[in-house]
Structure 1
Amino acid sequence: MSVRGRAGRAVAGALGIAVVGAAAEVARRRRVISRRGAGEDVAFGSLRSDPITVVADDGVPLHVEIDELEGDRAAAEEAARAARKRRPPRAEAVPDPSALTVVFAHGYALNLDCWHFQRAAYRGLVRTVLYDQRSHGRSGRSGDGHATIDQLAHDLKQVLDTTCPDGPVVLVGHSMGGMTIIALAEHYPELFGSRVAGVALISTTAGGLDPHRILVPVLPSTVGGQLAQRLVATLARGHRTVDGLRKAGKSVASVVTDLFAFGDEVPASYVEFVDAMLSATPFEVVAEFFPQFATLDKYATVHALGAVPTTIICGTRDRITSVGHSRKLHSVIPGSTLLECEGAGHLVVLERHDQVNAALDQLLAAAADRVGPR
């Protein structure tokens, strides 16, 4: 074959790859665009799948739900087949985000339903795993001494081993869920770059948190921290009474939820939804986990996340894990990207769900590219 002939075939092959890649990317982006706003017309807490139970290493049963793929690749495959006719067979495979499993870890005093808009947007397009952290939602109660961030990391490892032992995984964590992922990187760094192909840390930190300011924002940090710890411990002894008072003072609780969960005006249904999750978490559980946040310090090992694409997201008006925490994470995780959602609060996954989902879509694409063609 002449040099010109070989060059022509090479060009044709390259064009074939570009055509099928572009076709698949267009199909993927069309599916993403079509899902914008998904969940707005779906009742909060109504997205369900048949649950399974994952037993933690200390025997606590964890409630897990999996949204499997349901004909989600039809559009992309149709585009790929059409393009395949115009390119050599070797140009067949392109990175496909649907090859990934996305595992969502929720935050303190919430449950898996907090991912409402993310679940609605990705349902059927990407395999997703959602679970309730121990002592939260429908999961079992933790034993004494096991309500720790490190134990949550071991729980997540058990969820991964049970629900997605094979294939690449993207981990998405909000608040305490982000801390769970960071602790996972500390205990199991070998997972990042092998099984874990991407990470999203949302409204979270690796340390330096002042959780007492939620309770006593007007006190100096040293005094406030000591008082908060004693106050929570004292209230925990009468946790049933506290739970009753929280329900009786629902109107006040809603105002506090609005203040600390959101940075901007959101529909009343958002506030009621978050308040219901918070109210459903027994104060005894709140008290058990509370001391963990003041002592959290995992910046020494967070660099392990630099082995994979890592997206950091935070609202600029987050009163719980301020945007400074996300900026610090961004500075110490090599190659990470940072999205600051202007005016949003701690529940940015609800308040700015379209922005969050767009950032997650870019993360899935980067993770799929890293994993390679299917």
Structure 2
Amino acid sequence: MGSRRGIGRGLGVVGTVAGAGAAGVGAAVGLRHVAVGRVRLRPDPDAGEPFGELRGRELTVKASDGLPLHVEVDGPDDADLTIVFSHGYTLNQDSWHYQRRDLPKSLRKVFWDQRSHGRSGRSDPLHATIEQTGDDLYKVLKATVRPKRPVILVGHSMGGMSIMALADRRPEVFRRQVVGVALVNTSCGDMAEMTLGLPLVLAKVVQPLAPRTLRGLGRRADLVERARGLGSDLAFVVTRKMAFADKHVSPTVVDFLEQMVRGTPIDVIAEFYPALMAHDKLGCLDVLGRVPTLVLAGGRDRLTPAGASRRIAEALPDVELVEVEEAGHVLPLEYPGVVTGGLRRLIERVSPGYEEERTA
């Protein structure tokens, strides 16, 4: 039990689980399994979906520390409303594929890759903080939306945290320019409650080890990246288990999400993890309370449990809370119609406010 071999095996399990949970899906490695093949052979209505191929007008926005942020804009520049989408931890702007595809073409939509993610520049590790991503969002807003033109901010997971950081650091932009907010699978703090789907007692053992495990993986990035590339089927299984709850989720969607995660270097995952665990923006909810808000939660979200979304909703005066019982952590891909429908309702809620302001 106390042998070196036993300790090594134990840390291997911790590394897989903690790394998987921290990534939002898992940096897993392994061999091919017959069971995965059977899942992938099921009828898949999304098999022909052009994931990762929807592109907009590209521009580069310089962050406050000079880092280049990759931004894309869809829709007419003279549109009455702009929606700015902020993606989650280890993902990129393509995670908004269905919303990009299905929301009205008359809307102006802005998508950006958070620092060290997607096609944005690689951040100094010291700047891998939620406060910095909030500042980055402010720079994206300034660069893509004219002053006093109405904006809805939409954030998934870490993207929602970036919106909270913006509210904390730049409260003046809410109501003056930001007229609505949508928070999807996110939390204002208490990330210590994240159980990764484990029994609570085991989760309390695993979670304190996660930062140390991830730092160790980050220091061996080359080795880990080679291993990640070899274990596509185990990565598929862990992705499906950790990110989704619907047993009928499209295998193509699972693959797409896993590819996004695999595209995020393990040392980036390690750098941002402490910032997520330390996230505490309960105090900014009074700023978010100035505007109509949509809060969406997955009833079986292993990473930001539905209770975190309920706490946000309870603190806001003008909020719609939508909880999908059979959903996991990636609502924009698992239940895209729920997310897109909620955004359409949010747009309808704030539309009269736009017209009143524009005619005042």
TM over 0.5: yes
1:319 to 302, 323, 328: 302
- Residues 1:292 and 2:248 aligned together: no
What is the rounded CA distance, in whole Å, between the counterparts of 1:122 and 1:192 in structure 2?
23
Q: Choose 1 or 2 for highest CA Rg.
A: 1
Task: Give the equivalent residue in structure 1 for 2:30.
Answer: none
What is the rounded CA distance, in whole Å, between the counterparts of 1:244 and 1:344 in structure 2?
31
1:50 to 46, 50, 57: 57
Aligned residues: 310
- Residues 1:161 and 2:134 aligned together: no
**Contact preservation (8 Å) 1:206, 1:299:** yes
**Contact preservation (8 Å) 2:47, 2:252:** no
**Aligned CA distance change for structure 1 residues 249 and 212 (closer, same or farther; 3 Å):** farther
1:342 to 325, 344, 354: 325
What is the rounded CA distance, in whole Å, between the counterparts of 1:123 and 1:285 in structure 2?
34
- Residues 1:361 and 2:330 aligned together: no
1:225 to 207, 213, 216: 207
Task: Give the equivalent residue in structure 1 for 2:114.
Answer: 133
Describe the SS at the equivalent of 1:301.
helix
Task: Give the equivalent residue in structure 1 for 2:176.
Answer: 194
Instruction: Report how far residue 41 of structure 1 moved.
Output: 5.7
Give the letter aligned to residue 334 of structure 1. P
Cα shift readout 1:165-215 (whole Å, capped 9, x = no counterpart): 330100000000000001110001111111100000000001001387449
What is the rounded CA distance, in whole Å, between the counterparts of 1:287 and 1:215 in structure 2?
20
Task: Give the equivalent residue in structure 2 for 1:68.
Answer: 75
Instruction: Report how far residue 366 of structure 1 moved.
Output: 1.3
2:252 to 248, 269, 272: 269
Instruction: Report how far residue 42 of structure 1 moved.
Output: 3.8
What is the rounded CA distance, in whole Å, between the counterparts of 1:289 and 1:280 in structure 2?
15
Instruction: Report how far residue 219 of structure 1 moved.
Output: 5.6
**Contact preservation (8 Å) 1:67, 1:123:** no
Give the letter aligned to residue 120 of structure 1. R
Task: Give the equivalent residue in structure 1 for 2:11.
Answer: none
**Aligned CA distance change for structure 1 residues 215 and 234 (closer, same or farther; 3 Å):** farther
**Aligned CA distance change for structure 1 residues 107 and 206 (closer, same or farther; 3 Å):** same
What is the rounded CA distance, in whole Å, between the counterparts of 1:141 and 1:69 in structure 2?
30
Task: Give the equivalent residue in structure 2 for 1:247.
Answer: 229
What is the rounded CA distance, in whole Å, between the counterparts of 1:247 and 1:212 in structure 2?
27
Which structure carries more relative contact order (alpha carbon 8 Å, separation 6+)? 2
Where in structure 1 are there 5+ consecutive unaligned residues? 1-38, 72-97
Q: After the TM superposition, which residues 2-17 of structure 1 pair with which residues of structure 2 at under 5 Å, given as runs?
A: none
- Residues 1:331 and 2:314 aligned together: yes
**Aligned CA distance change for structure 1 residues 123 and 45 (closer, same or farther; 3 Å):** farther
Give the letter aligned to residue 340 of structure 2. N
Give the letter aligned to residue 243 of structure 2. A
Give the letter aligned to residue 68 of structure 1. G
1:372 to 337, 350, 355: 355
Q: Which moved more, 1:184-193 or 1:118-127?
A: 118-127
Q: After the TM superposition, which residues 112-123 of structure 1 pair with which residues of structure 2 at under 5 Å, given as runs?
A: 112-122=93-103
- Residues 1:107 and 2:88 aligned together: yes
What is the rounded CA distance, in whole Å, between the counterparts of 1:311 and 1:149 in structure 2?
21
Instruction: Report how far residue 301 of structure 1 moved.
Output: 1.9
Instruction: Report how far residue 350 of structure 1 moved.
Output: 1.1
**Aligned CA distance change for structure 1 residues 160 and 352 (closer, same or farther; 3 Å):** same
**Contact preservation (8 Å) 1:210, 1:293:** no
Task: Give the equivalent residue in structure 2 for 1:303.
Answer: 286
Give the letter aligned to residue 103 of structure 1. V
What is the rounded CA distance, in whole Å, between the counterparts of 1:117 and 1:187 in structure 2?
31
Q: Name the % identity.
A: 43
Instruction: Report how far residue 260 of structure 1 moved.
Output: 1.2
Give the letter aligned to residue 92 of structure 2. N
Give the letter aligned to residue 54 of structure 1. V
**Aligned CA distance change for structure 1 residues 199 and 263 (closer, same or farther; 3 Å):** same
Task: Give the equivalent residue in structure 2 for 1:8.
Answer: none
**Contact preservation (8 Å) 1:317, 1:323:** yes
Task: Give the equivalent residue in structure 1 for 2:9.
Answer: none
Describe the SS at the equivalent of 1:334.
coil
Please give the TM-score of this superposition, normalised by the length of structure 1: 0.79
Give the letter aligned to residue 177 of structure 2. R
Where in structure 2 are there 5+ consecutive unaligned residues? 1-45
Cα shift readout 1:202-259 (whole Å, capped 9, x = no counterpart): 0000100138744977764543232111111111110111111111111111101001
**Aligned CA distance change for structure 1 residues 236 and 334 (closer, same or farther; 3 Å):** same
